[in-house]
A and B are shown apart, each in its own frame.
Chain A
Amino acid sequence: MTAASSSALQPVIVGAGPAGVRAAEALVAHGLRPVVIDEASRAGGQIYRRPPASLAERSANVLYGFEARRADAVHTAFDALRERIDYRPDSLVWNAQGGRLDVLHGPTRSTSSVPYGQLIVATGATDRVLPVPGWTLPGVYTLGGAQVALKFQGCAIGQRVVFMGTGPLLYLVAYQYAKAGAKVAAVLDTSRFADQLAATPAMLRQPAVFAKGVYYVAWLRAHGVALHGGVRPLRVLGDVAESRVAGVAWHDGREEHTLACDAVGFGYALRSETQLADLLGCRFEFAPLHRAHLPVRDAAGRSSVRGVYLAGDGAGIMGADAAEWAGERAALALLADSGVAVDTARAAMLEGKLHKLGAFRQGLERAFPVPHDWAAHAPDELVVCRCENITAGTLRRTVAEQGADEMNRLKALSRVGMGRCQGRMCGVAAAEILAHATGQPVQQVGRLRGQAPIKPIPIHLATTAPSTEGAGA
């Protein structure tokens, strides 16, 4: 493919959450017809995930609460675009190479190769998992998983649920569960209420968002849900006979507590899905705010690779509102870089909002810090990588006996991150253990190198001759 013809290609957007939808909208408004590749079957992303059409329609208010208006707006925007974009739902981008994306289409069990000249990567996020003994018991979910069950499948993860970890999602999911009629046995937050108090000035940069957080907490309190701050989760208790969650144990700094429940939702905010950016060759740097190595981008969303733009939580956790702004901003950058005249005032306004949100994000980190002593307290028998059943003790021994001091070396010597998830779930925890065991700050231990496939692909589908025409509708 020559450079001239590739620049004439339709731009491609990966992801149809708030960032992808707003990016598509901006491109369509300027006369383009982007390809939008979505892993889900309906646009909306994780935060505004829509139930399958086959399920009884629940109102946006029921599904999204305070976010109903925004969810509706994103969905409506997408529905209005539907005929003006090349939308490819149920499609997993599993590889990128030489200006083409390899895409696996689930329902037809077929693969295709989608060429791009310009690409907006809006791959979103998954939960940041710091495991606790017992976390592999049936009945333990991530906060995001618990939320998806509620929004997508219309069911709760249990009758009597404990939510633990930290981050704004902790209270939001607890609220949504309680509102939906589930019994929330307790919310166990590893951060202290003093942290939240100290962060209040910064969080008041986004008064509406802050007010919502305050409301969830107040609502939960008013409805008799026990809220405990400054806890250290000790373990999820299991009913061995039924192989199911029976309760949780935690420490409050003075003594140990236990509480019966039949399901646990846990998580420590979110982590970015950066594998595609990695395969695309984007340069990564450690971002202290996110405690993660992330693809670098300028204020407009341009990555280090020409023609590749990054937007939304996939390039750093900023939340759904920011994702919308970043998606639109990245699309304007793409257009401007192609010589299309764009509204520069609008672009500057979006950048300003994103910049302002940075201060709020600092506040959030202060309010809900990742428990930096997690690794110090993780017992040797704790399973860190559940695909390969690798424990914290194995990781520590690999450091002590074989001198592993970097993530890829740790992976090679211990198998951590070598299973089906390829470190997408266990990588964060493994990095914390490695950093602690080697006495290095977490940024020094590096990050797992991205390798195709981003998610497992059936061998007989990998054989399909790639079509350069794309998947078609």
Chain B
Amino acid sequence: MTGRKTLRTDVAIVGGGIVGASAALALRKMGIGVVVLERDLCGSRSSGVNYGGVRRQGRPVSQLPLAQRAHRIWGNLRETIGTDGEYLRSGHFKIARSEADMASLEQYRTKSRDFDLGLELISAARLRERCPWLGTRAVGGSLCAEDGQANPRLVSPAFALAAQRAGAQIFERHKVDEVMHDGKGFLLRSGNALEVHAPALLNCAGAWSGPIAEYFGEAVPLRSSHPVMAVTEPVPHFMDWSLGVEGGGIYCRQVARGNLVLGGGRGFALDADRARADRDAIATLAAQAVELLPTLRHAHFIRTWSGTEGNLPDHQPVLGPSRTTPGLFHGFGFSGAGFQIGPAAGEVLAELVRDGRSSTPIESFSIERFFAAAANEEAPTTADKTTTPTPP
């Protein structure tokens, strides 16, 4: 085909979100060649439109090694990507609305003791004293002082820019519509514009990762979901912590300009790419916000939004090598909690490419978990596949 550019590189990455971009950056630091293909703009999907919580507290213990690794990256964010992305270790406070919630927060502290999260349980009386702005539903909670928040609109694209500065070739608005393995390496095509050949492939396409995994014989129950976000006009600064609620529901934080960013509930898809906040979810979010922070009662919502993220039924990502295809590594399905661990997931993927193993335990995220029942059957191979897969 005339006009089609052909590139040969060491690693092709599908998806320029925070996972793909940080993998690209880490690979470049190892001196490995990288091409990133992004269907839209880097960091413009769930990596760029999420709530912006940078939180370890509340994660499954299996994620904590990864979260700790990420915590170190966040601590050096400016050196790593050239901007602080409004990252603040403002504290993440998880609210208990009942004694049972409080007990469960206490259990979490015990469970996570090996990970140095520095969790501090705060009783109702002390909470009133410390933050009179909290509504009366909170009977206490757990503070992780070193957790915090950042601006995903800025951080996620900055990872891609940093990777590019480090020598990664990034192609935005290049949707991958063909992926195959010719027995020696991977071949990716983006329309008539670009063809990429590489011995290694990273599947970091977020909610759009499913078809790639499926093409290589690894269909997983990845579903799209659409979180609802809202932001208020700026109000006088009253809150440093990023707030969450034990058992889920609303979460919110106040940014330096004074706006409150709130999340909770589900939106709906407009099409394969776009989503919007749902009316009833906005109403529920508003009611919860006023209950949690009565001072917000007269503030205005100025904008709501949603995005598309990839969810797996156990809310754990798939992170690790393919079970069918050497050279293929997956990093997707972060189920609405990928922003904080994304940079570490990227480093892990880079290690997997270079060393075949990761220095951070990732067994819990193996794609094998979806094929346990079929474990005794021979894994399908893709070495001879040349047909066109469903466009991811």
Q: Chain A: residues with CB nearer than 8 A to chain B?
A: 95, 97-98, 100, 102, 113, 281, 388, 402-403, 406, 408-409, 412-413, 418-420, 422, 449, 451-453, 456-460, 462-466
Q: Give the residue of A408, A449, A457, A460 whose beta carbon is less than 8 angstroms from that of B290.
A: A460
Contact B297 A460 (CB under 8 A): yes
> B220-238: which have CB < 8 Å to A?
232-233
Question: Roughly how many angstroms separate A100 CA and B153 CA in the complex, as a whole number?
Answer: 31
- Contacts A459-B297, A466-B283 given; does A413 touch B157 at CB 8 Å: yes
Q: What are the residues of chain B within 8 A of A403 when measuring CB–CB?
A: 161
Q: What are the residues of chain B within 8 A of A420 when measuring CB–CB?
A: 233, 300, 302
Question: Roughly how many angstroms separate A97 CA and B298 CA in the complex, as a whole number?
Answer: 25
Contact B301 A95 (CB under 8 A): no
Question: Roughly how many angstroms separate A177 CA and B257 CA in the complex, as a whole number?
Answer: 40
Q: What are the residues of chain B within 8 A of A460 when measuring CB–CB?
A: 286, 290, 297-298
- Contacts A281-B270, A459-B290 given; does A466 touch B301 at CB 8 Å: no
What size tier do the contact residues of chain B reach?
Answer: 20 to 34
Q: What are the residues of chain A within 8 A of B283 when measuring CB–CB?
A: 462-466
Contact A409 B301 (CB under 8 A): no
- Contacts A406-B41, A466-B279 given; does A456 touch B300 at CB 8 Å: yes
Q: What are the residues of chain A within 8 A of B48 when measuring CB–CB?
A: 412
21 A-B pairs (CB sep. < 8 Å): A97-B279, A102-B279, A113-B279, A402-B161, A403-B161, A413-B153, A413-B154, A419-B302, A420-B300, A420-B302, A422-B303, A452-B304, A453-B301, A453-B302, A456-B300, A456-B302, A458-B298, A459-B289, A459-B290, A460-B297, A460-B298
Q: What are the residues of chain B within 8 A of A453 when measuring CB–CB?
A: 301-304
- What is the minimal beta-carbon distance from A346 to any residue of chain B, in angstroms? 37
Does B379 have its Cβ within 8 Å of any Cβ on chain A? Answer: no
Q: Give the residue of A113, A402, A459 whose beta carbon is less than 8 angstroms from that of B232.
A: A459
Does B280 have its Cβ within 8 Å of any Cβ on chain A? Answer: yes
- What is the minimal beta-carbon distance from A434 to any residue of chain B, in angstroms? 14
Q: Which among B41, B280, B289 has the greatest number of chain A C-beta atoms within 10 A?
A: B41
Q: Give the residue of B161, B277, B300, B305 whose beta carbon is less than 8 angstroms from that of A457.
A: B300
Residue of B nearest to A459 (CB): B286
Q: What are the residues of chain A within 8 A of B299 when measuring CB–CB?
A: 458-459
- Contacts A413-B157, A459-B289 given; does A422 touch B298 at CB 8 Å: no
Residue of A nearest to B285 (CB): A462
Residue of B nearest to A456 (CB): B300
Does B287 have its Cβ within 8 Å of any Cβ on chain A? Answer: yes
> B275-299: which have CB < 8 Å to A?
276-280, 282-283, 286-287, 289-290, 296-299
Question: Roughly how many angstroms separate A102 CA and B282 CA in the complex, as a whole number?
Answer: 11
Contact B277 A452 (CB under 8 A): yes
- What is the minimal beta-carbon distance from B121 to any residue of chain A, in angstroms? 30
Q: Give the residue of B41, B157, B278, B296 whose beta carbon is less than 8 angstroms from that of A459.
A: B296
Question: Roughly how many angstroms separate A418 CA and B230 CA in the complex, as a whole number?
Answer: 12
Does B254 have its Cβ within 8 Å of any Cβ on chain A? Answer: no
Residue of B nearest to A465 (CB): B283
> What 3 A-B pairs have minimum CB-CB distances, sorted nearest first?
A456-B300, A462-B286, A463-B287
Q: What are the residues of chain A within 8 A of B276 when measuring CB–CB?
A: 97, 451-452
Q: Give the residue of B233, B286, B298 whose beta carbon is less than 8 angstroms from that of A463.
A: B286
What 0/1 readout, one digit per residue, does chain B (297-323) give for beta carbons within 8 Å of chain A?
111111111000000000000000000
Question: Roughly how many angstroms separate A412 CA and B153 CA in the complex, as a whole number?
Answer: 6
- Interface SS of chain A: loop
Residue of B nearest to A97 (CB): B279
- Contacts A409-B41, A466-B280 given; does A451 touch B304 at CB 8 Å: yes
Q: What are the residues of chain A within 8 A of B41 when measuring CB–CB?
A: 406, 409
Contact B279 A95 (CB under 8 A): yes
Q: Give the residue of A388, A408, A456, A462 whose beta carbon is less than 8 angstroms from that of B282.
A: A462
Does B46 have its Cβ within 8 Å of any Cβ on chain A? Answer: no
Does B335 have its Cβ within 8 Å of any Cβ on chain A? Answer: no
Q: What are the residues of chain B within 8 A of A413 when measuring CB–CB?
A: 153-154, 157
Q: What are the residues of chain A within 8 A of B280 when measuring CB–CB?
A: 466
Question: Roughly how many angstroms separate A388 CA and B231 CA in the complex, as a whole number?
Answer: 14
Q: Which among B44, B161, B286 has the greatest number of chain A C-beta atoms within 10 A?
A: B286
- What is the minimal beta-carbon distance from A411 to any residue of chain B, in angstroms? 9
Q: What are the residues of chain B within 8 A of A457 when measuring CB–CB?
A: 300-301
Q: What are the residues of chain A within 8 A of B303 when measuring CB–CB?
A: 418, 422, 451, 453
Residue of B nearest to A408 (CB): B44
Question: Roughly how many angstroms separate A460 CA and B274 CA in the complex, as a whole number?
Answer: 28
Q: Which among B48, B298, B300 has the greatest number of chain A C-beta atoms within 10 A?
A: B300
- What is the minimal beta-carbon distance from B50 to any residue of chain A, in angstroms? 12
- What is the minimal beta-carbon distance from A461 to any residue of chain B, in angstroms? 8
Given contacts A98-B279, A453-B301, 12 further A-B contacts (CB under 8 A): A113-B279, A408-B44, A412-B157, A418-B303, A420-B233, A452-B304, A453-B304, A456-B300, A458-B298, A459-B301, A464-B283, A466-B280
Q: What are the residues of chain A within 8 A of B302 when measuring CB–CB?
A: 419-420, 422, 453, 456
Residue of B nearest to A96 (CB): B279
Question: Roughly how many angstroms separate A403 CA and B289 CA in the complex, as a whole number?
Answer: 36
Q: What are the residues of chain B within 8 A of A418 when measuring CB–CB?
A: 303
Q: What are the residues of chain A within 8 A of B286 when measuring CB–CB?
A: 459-460, 462-463
Question: Roughly how many angstroms separate A133 CA and B5 CA in the complex, as a whole number?
Answer: 46
- What is the minimal beta-carbon distance from A6 to any residue of chain B, in angstroms? 17
Residue of B nearest to A279 (CB): B276
Q: Give the residue of A281, A456, A466 whose beta carbon is less than 8 angstroms from that of B233.
A: A456
Question: Roughly how many angstroms separate A88 CA and B157 CA in the complex, as a whole number?
Answer: 45
Residue of A nearest to B231 (CB): A418
Contact B278 A402 (CB under 8 A): no
Question: Roughly how many angstroms separate A403 CA and B257 CA in the complex, as a whole number?
Answer: 24
Contact B44 A409 (CB under 8 A): yes
What 0/1 readout, one digit per residue, does chain B (149-175) give for beta carbons within 8 Å of chain A?
000011001100100000000000000
Question: Roughly how many angstroms separate A278 CA and B257 CA in the complex, as a whole number?
Answer: 28
Contact A463 B300 (CB under 8 A): no
Contact A456 B279 (CB under 8 A): no
Q: What are the residues of chain B within 8 A of A409 when measuring CB–CB?
A: 41, 44
- What is the minimal beta-carbon distance from A281 to any residue of chain B, in angstroms? 7
- What is the minimal beta-carbon distance from B339 to any residue of chain A, in angstroms? 15
- What is the minimal beta-carbon distance from B25 to any residue of chain A, in angstroms? 16
Contact A462 B157 (CB under 8 A): no
Residue of A nearest to B82 (CB): A401
Q: Which among B287, B297, B302, B305 has the greatest number of chain A C-beta atoms within 10 A?
A: B302
Contact B279 A412 (CB under 8 A): no
- What is the minimal beta-carbon distance from B322 to any residue of chain A, in angstroms? 32
Q: What are the residues of chain A within 8 A of B289 when measuring CB–CB?
A: 459
Residue of A nearest to B271 (CB): A281
Question: Roughly how many angstroms separate A456 CA and B298 CA in the complex, as a whole number?
Answer: 11
Contact B290 A463 (CB under 8 A): yes
Contact A412 B161 (CB under 8 A): no
Residue of A nearest to B298 (CB): A458
Question: Roughly how many angstroms separate A100 CA and B279 CA in the complex, as a whole number?
Answer: 10
- What is the minimal beta-carbon distance from A104 to any residue of chain B, in angstroms? 11
Question: Roughly how many angstroms separate A456 CA and B286 CA in the complex, as a whole number?
Answer: 13
Q: What are the residues of chain A within 8 A of B305 when measuring CB–CB?
A: 451
What 0/1 readout, one digit per residue, does chain B (33-74) give for beta carbons within 8 Å of chain A?
000000001001000100000000000000000000000000
Question: Roughly how many angstroms separate A409 CA and B173 CA in the complex, as a whole number?
Answer: 13
Q: What are the residues of chain B within 8 A of A451 when measuring CB–CB?
A: 276-277, 303-305
- Contacts A402-B157, A413-B154, A456-B233 given; does A462 touch B301 at CB 8 Å: yes
